[in-house]
Structure 1
């Protein structure tokens, strides 16, 4: 899924979650979740979309934000659930 497809699915309210995944080496990946299935984001060439920071992700996704309110990922105490933290649209600075 690329950013244009993500935007179309988001406008249609089909995206359940958008996860920013931190990898070793300071690399971040984005995945959209729809109906329990993960769809990693790719660039227009089909390569995995890699981001260099949380701020980079914020900047990239700012144009796609469809709600005026920040949404918070739950810190659910579920064994199958990985740790999720909120990503505010505004920096804490």
Structure 2
């Protein structure tokens, strides 16, 4: 799914959730979930569109800020050798489209 398709699905109310997936090396990929299926966000060449940071994703996805987004870290046990197979869930954290930078405390 490219950004234009993502925007169209979002406006039609077909997107269930957006997940920003954190990968090793400081790379983030976005998936849109519709009807239980994951649809990765791709560039014009059909390749996965990487984001540099959560802030970069917020900037690019600002037109879709009504949807909300989750930051997803896959379970580390999936990547460790010799660990037994468990039903451990991935870490999923809702994140706001607004940054906390510049926010006042107190």
TM-score range for the pair, normalised by the shorter chain length = 0.7 to 0.9
> Which is bigger in relative contact order (C-alpha 8 A, separation at least 6)?
2
Figure out how many residues of one structure are paired with residues of the other and give that number: 85
TM-score (norm 1): 0.82
**Which consecutive residues of structure 1, in runs of 5 or more, have no partner in the other structure?**
74-78
**Which consecutive residues of structure 2, in runs of 5 or more, have no partner in the other structure?**
71-86, 102-106
SS in 1 for 2:5: helix
TM-score (norm 2): 0.72
Partner of 2:40: 40
- Alignment CA distance shift 1:82-1:92 (3 Å): same
Report deviation, 1:47.
1.0
Report deviation, 1:54.
0.1
1:91 correspondence with 2:91: no
Segments of 4+ moved more than 2 angstroms: 70-73, 79-82
CA distance in 1, matches of 2:7, 2:88: 28
Partner of 1:57: 57
- Alignment CA distance shift 1:18-1:80 (3 Å): farther
